[in-house]
Chains A and B, each alone.
Chain A
């Protein structure tokens, strides 16, 4: 994937660029808003990681608004030190697809960027999700594995749906909290882990190979087999 990183802090930019490259992406970097806007508008990217406060007269919001007004719909993830709820709302209103605050864990950033690019590709409404021998029918809301029916609570169904939609990608606890429960705070208790482990009891336990994997220091991933 081609990813553009617009970030003025040298250390942060270097860290992000290096990490994204290690994850197998092609990365371009712009150190100010003007260059960032030029790159974003003239070249095609699969995702943009965008800082809010940038030198060069064009800040992140302006950059994004200009981009969107030109009909450019590249998925954008804000990476900003402006952490208030209103800042976040403003960023999303301007056309941002996700908003992360500094300081951040790289694993979270990577997971979110990869989730974004998936979201960018709209293949039309799907009615069925399939990962290995796990099947989910979104219309009848039925789940089967290896032909065997699995009974899930509504919330468990949504949790599994989210994991399946992001199959092969790391999904962090925060992403699950936001995507499945629509909560925007960090509970102190490990509530998400407990829900995932309950889901595992139903989806993985009765079968020989596990599908839901824990990714250390990051979150979870649903994928056919361990690499």
Chain B
């Protein structure tokens, strides 16, 4: 017995989600499909019941009411004759009516105070019709034939009793027939209801099967799966589109995270290696305290650079997460740009560059002031960094109908056309930028700020150099993505 675990485990544990648990009533009723099916069957049954009740009322009920009405009319007629002609008149009238009754369905019996028959077409007073009975249905034998009859008893002055009735054998047969039919109908309704319920459940399952399959494929790791849109534009399509939008967003975020972690893994390794090497080298080879200090200082600077990269990365993901969109406000970009130009003007001059600015008096934007400041500062940083001495850096801005455009142009080496699209990727550094300090995150941040604001960052060839154009909405707009 080496396989003890397997032997023990199999009988103790019922298969989850298998046939066994599927059949348990508890689980069955937790299924929304079954619930919908049962609700459908219930509604169907109630409708069928209501229909049957109405049918009964309008056929059997109608006949019964007609019988009652006929008996009542008879009584009124006979009462009149009794009032006019007394007892003899009444007996005469009963005789006439019995003779005139072709269908032989009318029943009359006049009895004295001792219940002895006086006139009528039945032989004796039915025993079941006692003093306190007003109307009843009973079997009456007439001319050797037994039949069901509805009778009413009326009391006359002088202790006489009058029984008026109608033979309802035919009606009772009809009732039986109807009852039979309804029983059958009930059976059929139950059958149809069950089939319908099953069908509804199946339909429900089929409809959500795709959503459920997509969801499980995604939880299994296949982020490319999407829910099928049937194109009917119904509620399920709307649901599918919402789910797909959500999945798109999730996979975009996932891509971002993956990209960043890859970038961190690759691009931070270099400066960390450098710092580490410096410290190790100093520990092994430094001969004087001055050497050690110098090495420590440089390693510290390296670490500061790494921290700066981290901060830039975190800032970008903070912006991309969009949490600070709540801090958006209407603002004038013009003084902000003039201040930035003033801040960078001195640095430009020192590098032998000319910083030209062309900013209109008012530039209304809707956004986060700090972020836009940082984005434009990054563009100016880049322009100053890459411009050759004697060059011109141009900061210009213009207000359009619903957007504000800020452009920073330099006369540097620019970015080759085929790398333009990649320039805003994190840690991307162009060939020309390899030998300049920087992290390759500047444009990524500008891109993130533009996207958060629902604007765009466009990179153009400035012949020579680079022209970065940042377009931001001037009024509250729904940011894309």
Interface residues of A in 139-177 (CB under 8 A from B): 155
Task: For A183, give its contact among B318, B323, B324, B373 (CB under 8 Å).
Answer: B373
Contacts of A187 in B (CB 8 A): 343-344, 377, 381
A83 to B312, CA, bound (A): 11
Chain B residues with CB below 8 A from A197, complex form = 350
B377: chain A residues at CB < 8 Å are: 183, 185, 187
Q: Nearest chain-A residue to B323 (Cβ)?
A: A86
Task: Give bound CA distance, A177 to B226, whole Å.
Answer: 49
Q: Would you give the 0/1 interface string for A175-214, flagging 1 where the beta carbon is closer than 8 Å to chain B?
A: 0000001011111111100110110000000000000000
Check if B206 is an interface residue, CB within 8 A of chain A.
no
Contact between A84 and B346, CB atoms less than 8 A apart: no
Q: Which residues of chain B have C-beta atoms less than 8 A from A84's C-beta? A: 314, 318
CA distance A188 to B443 in the complex (A): 13
Q: How far is the CB of B314 from chain A (nearest CB, A)?
A: 6
A191 and B343 within 8 A (CB): yes
Q: How far is the CA of A189 from the CA of B347 in the complex (A)?
A: 7
Q: Which of B297, B307, B318, B370 touches A185 (beta carbons < 8 Å)?
A: B370
Whether the Cβ atoms of A191 and B324 lie closer than 8 Å is no
A85 cross-chain contacts in B, Cβ below 8 A = 318, 324, 370
B311 on interface, CB distance cutoff 8 Å: yes
Chain A residues contacting B442 (CB-CB under 8 Å) are: 188
A103 within 8 A of B: yes
B123 in contact (CB, < 8 A): no
* Inter-chain contacts of A86 with B (CB < 8 A): 323-324
B307 near A103: Cβ-Cβ < 8 Å:
yes
What distance in Å separates the Cβ of B298 from its nearest Cβ neighbour in chain A? 12
Task: Enumerate chain A residues within 8 angstroms of B373, measured Cβ to Cβ.
Answer: 183, 185
B445 → chain A closest CB, angstroms: 9
Instruction: Let me know if A188 and B307 touch, CB within 8 A.
Output: no
A39: min CB distance to chain B, Å: 31
Task: Verify B381–A188 contact, CB threshold 8 A.
Answer: yes
Contact A181 B339 (CB under 8 A): yes
Tell whether A189 pairs with B308 under 8 Å between CB atoms, given A84-B314, A86-B323, A198-B346.
no
Q: With the chains together, A186 CA to B438 CA distance in Å?
A: 13
Q: For the side of the interface on A, what is the size category? A: 20 to 34
Closest CB-CB distance, A220 to chain B, in whole Å?
A: 15
Give the number of chain B interface residues (Cβ < 8 Å).
Answer: 30
Cα of A188 to Cα of B374 in the assembled complex, Å? 11
**Are A83 and B381 in touch, CB under 8 angstroms?**
no
Q: How far is the CA of A187 from the CA of B188 in the complex (A)?
A: 82
A157 to B350: give the CA distance in the assembly, Å. Answer: 20
Task: Decide yes or no whether B437 CB sits under 8 A from chain A.
Answer: yes
Instruction: Determine whether the beta carbon of B323 is less than 8 Å from that of A194.
Output: no
B342 at the interface (CB under 8 A from A): yes
> Bound complex: CA of A185 vs CA of B446, how far in Å?
13
Most chain A CB neighbours (cut-off 10 Å) among B308, B349, B350, B385: B350
Q: Which of B10-66 contact A (CB under 8 A)?
A: none
Query: B360-401: which have CB < 8 Å to A?
Result: 370, 373-374, 377-378, 380-381, 384-385
Q: Which residue of A lies closest to B349 (CB)?
A: A194
List residues of chain B with CB within 8 A of the CB of A103: 303, 307
Residues of B near A195 (CB, < 8 A) are 343, 346
Candidate in A85, A181, A184, A198 with the most chain B CB atoms within 10 angstroms: A85
Asked whether A194 lies within 8 Å of B437 as measured between CB atoms, the reply is: no
Q: Are B308 and A191 in contact (CB under 8 A)?
A: no
Write out, one digit per residue, whether chain B residues 327-348 have a CB within 8 A of any chain A CB (1) or not (0): 0000000000001001110110
Cross-chain contact B346 with A185 (CB below 8 angstroms): no
Among B324, B346, B349, max chain A CB count under 10 A is at B346
From A184, A189, A198, B385 is in contact (CB under 8 Å) with: A189
**From residue 381 to 431 of chain B, which have CB atoms closer than 8 A to chain A?**
381, 384-385
Q: How far is the CA of A198 from the CA of B347 in the complex (A)?
A: 10
Q: Which A residues lie within 8 Å of B370 (CB)?
A: 85, 184-185
For B349, list chain A residues within 8 Å (CB).
194
Tell whether A188 pairs with B438 under 8 Å between CB atoms, given A83-B311, A83-B314, A183-B377: yes
B-to-A contact residues, CB < 8 Å: 297, 303-304, 307-308, 311, 314, 318, 323-324, 339, 342-344, 346-347, 349-350, 370, 373-374, 377-378, 380-381, 384-385, 437-438, 442
Interface residues of A (CB under 8 A from B): 83-86, 101, 103, 105, 155, 181, 183-191, 194-195, 197-198, 217
Known: A155-B342, A187-B381. 10 other contacts (CB 8 A): A84-B318, A85-B324, A103-B307, A183-B373, A185-B374, A185-B377, A186-B308, A187-B344, A191-B344, A191-B346
List 20 A-B residue pairs with CB atoms under 8 Å apart, sorted by A's residue number: A83-B314, A85-B318, A86-B324, A101-B311, A103-B303, A103-B307, A105-B304, A155-B342, A183-B373, A185-B377, A186-B308, A187-B344, A188-B381, A188-B437, A188-B442, A189-B347, A194-B350, A195-B343, A195-B346, A217-B297
